Amino acid sequence: MSPRLRAEIQATFFFVAEERGLEAAIDAVARAGADAAKSIRGSRQDVAPPIVRRIADYLDLPVDQFRNGRRGTSNERHLALWALRQLGYSYPAAARAVGLTNHTSAIHGVRRVERTPELLDRARRMLAVVGHGEIR
């Protein structure tokens, strides 16, 4: 945590504690920390890598809908994770590229594609078009 952010959080804590009590101060600091984390994560995750944009175009989905984590797009997200892994992305990098926060979700998605023949066939066809045939 940067010294500036730490100083801001401490100032918020002491000000709110003096005005509204200790519990209100703890809540205010927790909200401020969550907001700061969202803004930091959001600034990094708002920009989709070009390969993710090509995958979203191939799957005929807007990038923001593709990356928002809704249940209806999980198959497409898993296809993208598999393709990214084939293109050399690490699990954490692939997860970040499709808007996930945890690499274990990427592992689950890749394994799901690999054990479902229909999804694996679809993923290979997609990668041949989007990844210019770079299957390893």
Q: Is 98 exposed, middle or buried (0-12, 13-18, 19+ CB in 10 A)?
A: buried
pLDDT for 38:
60
Q: Model confidence over 34-45: pLDDT tens digits?
A: 666 665 555 444
Spatial CB neighbours of 63, under 8 Å, sequence gap ≥ 6: 48, 52, 53, 56
At 47, the amino acid letter reads: V
**From CA 95, how far away is CA 22, in angstroms rounded?**
38
Q: Model confidence over 72-118: pLDDT tens digits?
A: 778 889 999 999 999 899 999 999 888 888 899 999 999 999 999 99
Phi, psi of 24 (to 5 degrees): -65, -35
